[in-house]
């Protein structure tokens, strides 16, 4: 049975319009169109106060034209409005000044001279586009345009424009918000009133939610603010219900998985390790360890997230968990996001274990085990040994990168997988692990220094338990951070280099971090673990490329000519990377210019200062993570965030936030708030429609809780959703679309 929602748009609209929808927005069916909700609503006659606009906003404004000029971009000569048609194929700039009655806003249209005669002074129009700044004047660059007091309008058009609210849709220059509005209305008018609703009737009544047909009218063509608010509420619930149903089904599956219980053994490796530990565990560490031991003793796989500030001591917790599993006869692997980190972890663990890691070697402790390392750059012989040790069980602990999972690596008895610095650990990856450990699934512990709010954890990781380390071990020094606006205050940047010199004179060391390797390397961004930018952080096309290690090295060769400066990045051969890092660790290098290879895990307590170049090119949590590399010893840390941005812009505000607090939770909240929902959930920006359009996992906590409850009760009696065919088909299409990738990967 085909419902109205699955019908093709071309049955309702003209073939040409339907084609445009498909091409521009990927919308082909009635259901897809009706779930392309307005971004916001414009109340009739209300001009937008321009002083609320901020650079970087996607804004739709209603304004009145004051002045319009067209110039040739080649000769800069002004073109009379009567001549503009002749200029259609040449380079022109049309500048329009519009007003909200108090302030002016400038619009710049490139190569669209024909607009000028339509935008005569006095005309009111809608304009939408990104707010930018050009020589200190707020601008919309080539915005979408809809003239409101056009003369020859059809009757339908006059009626449409007379509505109390105008829906404003996510639109493009090829498909205006007005066309979308008209199409939606056409479709709604032809729609059957009895639509199949994914929300069961009973729930609609209990939660006092609008039915589907009603809600669609109210969200697209509201008569009042209450109309669209009620409708949004209903669609938010719908989104939450679909998502929570998927998670409930998934929980049902994982609940049925089996794991080998690994109860703690009293006098084994772990006890010996504890006796040698040079410090006392913090209370938090001890507590979290107990939670983990309890999980490990159960016959179902643990799936736990351990979050804690940089330097909060997650590694010891992980190591104790691994040792406990080794004591119980199993093996553990530790997966790192990059080779550099895997190597570093291997060193750290080996060092912490001392002779407890020297099984079979002269001087090894009685109960010792081995810590293996498996990375891509390993030589053939070393690799073979490591593989053998994993397969025979001689290596109780194996450290490697994620590639380790895809490999042919076999384990004698894999009991625990620890994943470092990563939120995502997918269903597929877990499946890959199960194959490495027979019918049983290993226990999984995921560690991250980027904490996530509870609702996000609940949404994204349906079946994940969360432990948090909140205190830092004693003896850590505070980090002081400042933003350096290099463009506005070049003297501050000079001062920054002086500070570096002063620190070195005091016997400390410094990092200079750059977002890119060098001019000679075209796609530095491909480098594993480097140059990871959030979507909103993508450099604008016209902006200069991010500053590189090579450039900075050249500049500093002069400025810091008397210091020992070296560079480090992912393209250096492995031995060279190691050599540079060891020299830095040994204090033989004063200043290390590096990419984000140093982001996680690097531990040089004598490094006191970090200068981050083009800091605005990094995400908030990445900056926080980077900053965690200094202030690791008893030396107070200093972090300077250098940027060319203007103080006052939105992105500058993010840097200010990073400078003003070292509370990772606070930063994570700010980070998430400034991102779009899709990014919060880690959806790849594939251009596909997200199944979460109105729901915010940060704001809509209550809705998510209720939906989760409803989903659980549905799935517990009807896991296949046989009695809920519409919900079932929503779940299926959510799973089919790439947009739920975030669910798959957790």
Least CB distance to Mg ion at residue 665 (A): 18
Tell me, by CB under 6 A, how many residues bind ligand ADP: 15
Q: Which does 622 bind (CB under 5 to 8 A by kind): ligand ADP, Mg ion, none?
A: none
Q: Which residue in this structure is represented by tokens 């540079």?
A: 580
- Closest CB to ligand ADP among 468 and 482? 468
Q: Which of 10, 37, 49, 326 is nearest to 180 (CA)?
A: 37
Instruction: Decide: is 451 part of the binding site for ligand ADP (CB under 6 A).
Output: no
- Closest CB to ligand ADP among 1 and 474? 474
Q: Which does 598 bind (CB under 5 to 8 A by kind): Mg ion, ligand ADP, none?
A: none
Least CB distance to ligand ADP at residue 481 (A): 18
- Closest CB to Mg ion among 129 and 308? 308
Q: Which does 446 bind (CB under 5 to 8 A by kind): ligand ADP, Mg ion, none?
A: none
Helices (H), 140-224: 155-162, 177-189, 201-206, 212-220
Local structure of residue 525 (DSSP, 8 states): G
Q: Which does 134 bind (CB under 5 to 8 A by kind): ligand ADP, Mg ion, none?
A: none
Please identify, among the stretches 188-196, 277-285, 364-372, 606-614, the one whose residues bind ligand ADP according to the rule CB under 6 A: 277-285
Q: Which does 311 bind (CB under 5 to 8 A by kind): ligand ADP, Mg ion, none?
A: ligand ADP
Q: Which does 316 bind (CB under 5 to 8 A by kind): Mg ion, ligand ADP, none?
A: ligand ADP
- Closest CB to ligand ADP among 36 and 345? 345
Strand 465-469 relative to strand 137-141, pairing: unpaired
Please identify, among the stretches 179-187, 280-288, 405-413, 509-517, the one whose residues bind ligand ADP according to the rule CB under 6 A: 280-288
* Coil/strand/helix, residue 93: strand
CA distances, 371 to each of 71, 183, 395, 549 (Å): 71, 64, 6, 34
Classify burial at 676, counting beta carbons within 10 Å of its beta carbon; exposed 0-12, middle 13-18, buried 19 or more.
Answer: middle
Q: Which does 56 bind (CB under 5 to 8 A by kind): Mg ion, ligand ADP, none?
A: none
Least CB distance to ligand ADP at residue 469 (A): 7
Least CB distance to Mg ion at residue 585 (A): 16
Q: Which does 473 bind (CB under 5 to 8 A by kind): Mg ion, ligand ADP, none?
A: ligand ADP
In this chain, which of 17, 60, 179, 282 binds ligand ADP, going by CB under 6 A? Answer: 282
- Closest CB to Mg ion among 418 and 743? 418
Written as one string, the DSSP assignment of 360-402 is TSTT--TT--EEEEE-TT--HHHHHHHHHHHHHS-EEEEEEET
Spell out the residues 6+ positions from residue 638 whose beta carbon is closer than 8 angstroms to its own. 479, 480, 481, 499, 503, 608, 609, 610, 630
- Interface contacts to Mg ion, rule CB under 5 A: 315
CA distances, 431 to each of 252, 406, 644 (Å): 16, 11, 46
| Helix or strand (DSSP H, E) at 109 | strand 104-110
In this chain, which of 8, 51, 279, 487 binds ligand ADP, going by CB under 6 A? Answer: 279
Q: Which residue in this structure is represented by tokens 């991250």?
A: 448
Please identify, among the stretches 259-267, 276-284, 425-433, 618-626, the one whose residues bind ligand ADP according to the rule CB under 6 A: 276-284
Least CB distance to ligand ADP at residue 479 (A): 13
Q: Which does 282 bind (CB under 5 to 8 A by kind): Mg ion, ligand ADP, none?
A: ligand ADP
Write each residue from 297 to 336 as x if it is in contact with ligand ADP (CB under 6 A), else as -, in one continuous string: -----------x-xxxxxxx--------------------
Instruction: Decide: is 635 part of the binding site for ligand ADP (CB under 6 A).
Output: no
Instruction: Decide: is 473 part of the binding site for ligand ADP (CB under 6 A).
Output: yes
Local structure of residue 633 (DSSP, 8 states): S
- Closest CB to Mg ion among 233 and 315? 315
Instruction: Decide: is 281 part of the binding site for ligand ADP (CB under 6 A).
Output: yes
Least CB distance to ligand ADP at residue 277 (A): 8
C-beta neighbour count of 208 within 10 angstroms: 9
Q: Which does 359 bind (CB under 5 to 8 A by kind): Mg ion, ligand ADP, none?
A: none
Least CB distance to ligand ADP at residue 448 (A): 9
Q: Which of 677, 502, 532 is nearest to 597 (CA)?
A: 532
Q: Which does 369 bind (CB under 5 to 8 A by kind): Mg ion, ligand ADP, none?
A: none
Distance CA 154, CA 568 (A): 66
Question: Edge-to-edge strand order for the sheet containing 465-469?
Answer: 370-374, 395-401, 331-336, 414-419, 443-448, 303-308, 465-469
Q: By the 8 A CB rule, do 131 and 53 touch?
A: yes
Least CB distance to Mg ion at residue 576 (A): 24
- Closest CB to ligand ADP among 68 and 316? 316
Spell out the residues 6+ positions from residue 108 whose beta carbon is closer than 8 angstroms to its own. 93, 94, 95, 134, 139, 140, 141, 142
Least CB distance to Mg ion at residue 429 (A): 20
Distance CA 98, CA 532 (A): 39
Q: Using CB atoms, what's the residue nearest to Mg ion?
A: 315
Instruction: Decide: is 369 part of the binding site for ligand ADP (CB under 6 A).
Output: no
Distance CA 329, CA 372 (A): 17
| Helix or strand (DSSP H, E) at 264 | none
Q: Which does 707 bind (CB under 5 to 8 A by kind): Mg ion, ligand ADP, none?
A: none
Distance CA 589, CA 166 (A): 63
- Closest CB to ligand ADP among 441 and 625? 625
Distance CA 413, CA 343 (A): 23
> Which of positions 581-610 make contact with ligand ADP (CB under 6 A)?
603
Distance CA 737, CA 733 (A): 6
- Closest CB to ligand ADP among 311 and 539? 311
- Closest CB to ligand ADP among 236 and 629? 629
Q: Which does 354 bind (CB under 5 to 8 A by kind): Mg ion, ligand ADP, none?
A: none
Least CB distance to ligand ADP at residue 482 (A): 23
Checking 211-217 for CB contacts under 8 A at 24+ apart, the result is 216/34, 216/188, 216/191, 217/188
Q: Which does 218 bind (CB under 5 to 8 A by kind): ligand ADP, Mg ion, none?
A: none
Least CB distance to ligand ADP at residue 36 (A): 44
- Closest CB to Mg ion among 422 and 661? 422
Least CB distance to ligand ADP at residue 308 (A): 5
Distance CA 625, CA 441 (A): 31
- Closest CB to ligand ADP among 283 and 535? 283
Please identify, among the stretches 114-122, 281-289, 559-567, 679-687, the one whose residues bind ligand ADP according to the rule CB under 6 A: 281-289
Distance CA 659, CA 483 (A): 7
Residues β-bridged to residue 418 = 334, 445
Q: Which does 113 bind (CB under 5 to 8 A by kind): ligand ADP, Mg ion, none?
A: none
Q: Which does 177 bind (CB under 5 to 8 A by kind): Mg ion, ligand ADP, none?
A: none
Helices (H), 257-360: 269-276, 283-296, 314-327, 339-353
Q: By the 8 A CB rule, do 231 and 215 touch?
A: yes
Q: By the 8 A CB rule, do 527 and 594 touch?
A: no
684: left (phi over 0), alpha (psi -120 to 50) or beta: beta
Write out the residues near ligand ADP by the rule CB under 6 A: 279, 281-282, 285, 308, 310-316, 449, 473, 603
């Amino acid at each position: 049975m085909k419902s109205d929602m699955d019908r093709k748009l071309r049955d309702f609209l003209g073939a040409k319009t339907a084609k445009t929808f498909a091409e521009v927005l990927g919308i082909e069916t009635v259901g897809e169109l009706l779930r392309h909700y307005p971004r916001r609503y414009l109340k009739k006659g209300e001009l937008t106060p321009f002083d609320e606009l901020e650079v970087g906003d996607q804004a739709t404004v209603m304004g009145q034209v004051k002045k319009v000029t067209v110039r040739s971009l080649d000769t800069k000569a002004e073109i009379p409005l009567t001549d503009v048609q002749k200029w259609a194929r040449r380079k022109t700039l049309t500048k329009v000044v519009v007003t909200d009655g108090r302030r002016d806003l400038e619009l710049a249209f490139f190569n669209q001279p024909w607009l000028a005669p339509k935008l005569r002074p006095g005309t009111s129009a809608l304009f939408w586009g990104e707010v930018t700044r050009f020589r200190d004047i707020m601008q919309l660059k080539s915005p979408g345009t809809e003239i409101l007091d056009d003369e020859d309008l059809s009757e339908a058009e006059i009626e449409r424009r007379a509505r109390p609210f105008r829906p404003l849709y996510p639109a493009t220059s090829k498909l205006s918000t007005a066309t979308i509005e008209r199409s939606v209305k056409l479709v709604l008018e032809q729609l059957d009133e009895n639509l199949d609703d994914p929300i069961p009737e009973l729930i609609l009544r209990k939660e006092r939610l609008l039915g589907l047909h009603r809600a669609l009218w109210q969200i697209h063509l509201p008569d009042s603010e209450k109309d669209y608010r009620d409708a949004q509420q209903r669609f938010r619930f719908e989104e939450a219900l679909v998502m929570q149903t998927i998670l409930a089904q998934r929980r049902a599956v994982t609940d049925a998985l089996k794991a080998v219980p690994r109860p703690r053994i009293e006098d084994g490796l772990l006890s010996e390790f504890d006796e040698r530990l040079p410090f006392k565990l913090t209370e938090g560490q001890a507590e979290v360890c107990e939670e983990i031991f309890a999980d490990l003793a159960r016959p179902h796989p643990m799936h736990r997230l351990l979050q804690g500030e940089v330097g909060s001591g997650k590694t010891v917790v992980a190591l104790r968990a691994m040792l406990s599993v080794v004591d119980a006869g199993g093996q553990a692997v530790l997966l790192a996001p990059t080779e550099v980190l895997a190597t570093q972890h291997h060193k750290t663990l080996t060092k912490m274990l001392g002779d407890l890691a020297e099984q079979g070697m002269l001087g090894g402790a009685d109960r010792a085990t081995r810590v293996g390392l498996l990375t891509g750059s390993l030589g053939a012989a070393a690799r073979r040994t490591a593989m053998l040790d994993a397969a025979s069980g001689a290596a109780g602990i194996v450290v490697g990168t994620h590639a380790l999972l895809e490999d042919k690596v076999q384990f004698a008895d894999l009991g625990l997988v620890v994943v470092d610095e990563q939120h995502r650990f997918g269903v597929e990856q877990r499946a890959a692990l199960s194959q490495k450990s027979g019918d049983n699934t290993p226990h999984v512990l995921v560690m991250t220094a980027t904490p996530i709010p509870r609702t996000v954890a609940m949404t994204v990781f349906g079946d994940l338990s969360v432990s948090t380390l909140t205190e830092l071990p004693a003896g850590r020094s505070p980090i002081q951070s400042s933003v350096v606006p290099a463009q506005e205050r070049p003297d501050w940047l000079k001062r920054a280099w002086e500070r570096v010199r002063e620190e070195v004179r005091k016997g400390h060391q410094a990092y200079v971090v750059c977002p890119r390797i060098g001019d000679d390397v075209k796609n530095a961004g491909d480098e594993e673990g480097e140059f990871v930018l959030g979507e909103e952080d993508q450099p604008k096309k016209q902006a200069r490329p991010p500053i590189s290690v090579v450039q900075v090295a050249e500049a500093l060769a002069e400025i810091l000519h008397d210091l020992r400066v070296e560079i480090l990045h992912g393209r250096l051969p492995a031995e060279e990377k190691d050599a540079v890092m060891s020299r830095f660790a040994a204090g033989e290098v004063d200043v290390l210019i590096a990419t984000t290879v140093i982001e996680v895990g690097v531990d040089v307590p004598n490094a006191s200062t970090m200068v981050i170049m083009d800091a605005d090119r990094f995400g908030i949590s990445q900056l926080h993570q980077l900053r965690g590399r200094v202030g690791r010893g008893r030396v107070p840390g200093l972090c300077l965030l250098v940027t060319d941005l203007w103080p006052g812009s939105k992105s500058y505000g993010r840097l200010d936030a990073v400078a003003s607090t070292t509370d990772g939770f606070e930063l994570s909240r700010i980070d998430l708030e400034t991102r779009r929902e899709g990014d919060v959930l880690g959806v790849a920006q594939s251009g596909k429609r997200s199944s979460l359009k109105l729901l915010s996992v940060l704001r809509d906590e209550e809705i998510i809780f209720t939906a989760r409850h409803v989903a659980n009760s549905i799935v517990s009696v009807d896991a296949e959703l046989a009695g809920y065919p519409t919900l079932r088909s929503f779940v299926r299409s959510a799973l089919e679309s790439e947009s739920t990738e975030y669910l798959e990967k957790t």
